[in-house]
């Protein structure tokens, strides 16, 4: 999380100007915005009082550093869920790539009780991303099916879906799995819970109907949609990125979201984070953007396999990155792509693309696509 640490240090040192916050978090100050709604006790408060938002964001970053120190700051990302509670004394960190849930407290008074509460809260956190404020220590309203149901099991191998089972498991963890470490001259009491081996597949199953519907609607292969979600967020519905991307398919409102709203859906403006934290909206928007790439931005590529390679690359690095790989201009680049075999197009996009992330992105998506195709 070096990037997250950099962002928070910048927040602290820069005084967290409005321009810096907007640039990092895409805040639009309207009551429909998830962050504005969670941060403002009165609707529209920060439309006029931008200094109040500056102060609040500075306080948020400062409270984390004050509690945990500058060397142990963790923030939510695309493939990890991080939530602070209890005035920043408790922290939950779900690492979806490594399949671990780490819950810890630095409370100095009755730390085991604080940790127990944090464990129960984490295990029972509902599958409602829009209702969980990742950028404060606000408590989570529990209720409904837990997000981690089936993905974490207790000492008896049972799924945790009820408060009594979560409480019993918390007691077991504290009695048998409790660990300690030093955090900024404080003692952290923590437990690490392994997720079940197929936790990623279990999350993917939740979205089967949504993926199938989007696939039929936009004529985009289901295995491609699954592969993109796996690559972008590993099926983390709480995914948020410093690059201002939200949700399962990591949609950036100002770019892909804006284009889908304006061109495909005939709507003005762009989707809010709250809109994109709805899995159905997110997958529909991401798949619609693939439709745009296929029918508009990369139109003219004749070979369907070459077109798909180009679409995958463009989802990460933009159509311009694809064109730059093959000469720069759209027309000449498409002509060059059409004069190459699909294997040559793949080689160029994974070896010569100007952006290293985009080169690796195509490799990962292609690999995951084969895995999901084999699961059919």
If one counts the domains in the chain, the total is 3
Boundary of a domain, candidates 55, 74, 93: 74
For residue 78 the two structure tokens come to 């695309």
Question: Both 104 and 230 in a single domain?
Answer: no
Query: CB within 8 A of 123, min separation 6: which ones?
Result: 146, 148, 152, 160, 166, 169, 170
Question: Both 187 and 274 in a single domain?
Answer: no
Boundary of a domain, candidates 59, 74, 89: 74
Question: Both 314 and 361 in a single domain?
Answer: yes
Q: How far is CA 187 from CA 67, 91, 352, in A?
A: 11, 14, 49
Mean pLDDT computed over every residue of the chain: 86
For residue 124 the two structure tokens come to 């029972």
pLDDT in tens, 305-351: 999 999 999 999 999 999 999 987 999 999 999 999 999 999 999 99
pLDDT of residue 55: 58
Question: Both 299 and 223 in a single domain?
Answer: yes
pLDDT of residue 376: 65
Question: Both 175 and 270 in a single domain?
Answer: no
pLDDT in tens, 167-194: 999 999 999 999 999 998 999 999 999 9
Question: Both 92 and 65 in a single domain?
Answer: no
Q: State the pTM of this model.
A: 0.82
pLDDT band for position 375 (50/70/90)?
confident
Q: How far is CA 284 from CA 87, 167, 236, 267, 271, in A?
A: 37, 38, 16, 14, 12
The yes-or-no verdict on residue 138 having pLDDT over 50 is yes
Proportion of the chain in helix, strand, coil states, percent, rounded to 5: 55, 10, 35
Task: Report the C-alpha gap between 311 and 355 in whole angstroms.
Answer: 15
Helices (H), 107-207: 111-124, 163-176, 199-205
Q: Look up residue 196 and give its DSSP letter.
A: P
Boundary of a domain, candidates 177, 196, 215: 196
Domain that holds residue 350: 202-375
Question: Both 339 and 369 in a single domain?
Answer: yes
Across residues 266-280, what is the average pLDDT? 91
Question: Both 55 and 122 in a single domain?
Answer: no
Question: Both 112 and 174 in a single domain?
Answer: yes
Query: Is 348 in contact with 325 (CB distance < 8 Å)?
Result: yes
Task: Report the C-alpha gap between 255 and 252 in whole angstroms.
Answer: 6
pLDDT of residue 75: 85
Question: Both 68 and 80 in a single domain?
Answer: no
Question: Both 267 and 344 in a single domain?
Answer: yes
Question: Both 207 and 189 in a single domain?
Answer: no
What is the CB neighbour count within 10 angstroms for residue 32? 12
């Amino acid at each position: 999380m070096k990037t997250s640490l950099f962002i928070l240090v910048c927040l602290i040192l820069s005084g967290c100007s409005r321009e810096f916050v907007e640039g990092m978090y895409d805040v639009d100050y309207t009551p429909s915005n998830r962050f504005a709604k969670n941060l403002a006790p009165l609707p529209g408060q920060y439309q006029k009082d931008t200094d109040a938002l500056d102060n609040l964001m500075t306080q948020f970053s400062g409270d984390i550093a004050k509690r945990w120190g500058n060397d142990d700051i963790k923030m939510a990302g695309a493939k990890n869920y991080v939530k602070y509670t209890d005035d920043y004394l408790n922290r939950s960190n779900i690492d979806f790539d490594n399949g671990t849930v780490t819950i810890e407290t630095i409370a100095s008074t009755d730390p085991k009780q604080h940790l127990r509460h944090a464990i129960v809260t984490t295990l029972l956190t509902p599958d409602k991303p829009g209702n969980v404020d990742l950028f404060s220590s606000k408590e989570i309203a529990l209720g409904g099916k837990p997000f981690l149901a089936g993905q974490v099991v207790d000492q008896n191998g049972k799924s945790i879906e009820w408060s009594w089972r979560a409480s019993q498991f918390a007691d077991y963890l504290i009695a048998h799995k409790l660990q300690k470490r030093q955090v900024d001259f404080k003692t952290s009491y923590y437990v690490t819970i392994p997720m079940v081996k197929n936790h990623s597949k279990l999350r993917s199953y939740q979205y089967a109907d949504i993926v199938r519907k989007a696939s039929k609607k936009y004529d985009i292969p289901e295995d491609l949609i699954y592969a993109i979600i796996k690559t972008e967020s590993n099926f983390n519905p709480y995914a948020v990125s410093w690059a201002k991307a939200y949700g399962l398919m990591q949609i950036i409102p100002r770019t892909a979201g804006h284009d889908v709203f304006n061109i495909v859906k005939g709507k003005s403006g762009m989707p809010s984070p709250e809109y994109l934290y709805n899995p159905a909206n997110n997958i529909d928007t991401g798949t619609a953007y693939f439709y745009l790439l296929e029918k508009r931005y990369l139109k003219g590529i004749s070979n369907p396999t070459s077109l798909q390679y180009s679409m995958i690359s463009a989802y990460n690095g933009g159509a311009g990155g694809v064109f730059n790989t093959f000469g720069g201009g759209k027309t000449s680049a498409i002509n060059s792509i059409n004069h190459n075999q699909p294997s040559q197009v793949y080689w160029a996009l994974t070896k010569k693309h100007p952006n290293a992330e985009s080169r690796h992105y195509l490799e990962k998506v292609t690999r995951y696509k084969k895995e999901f195709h084999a699961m059919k």
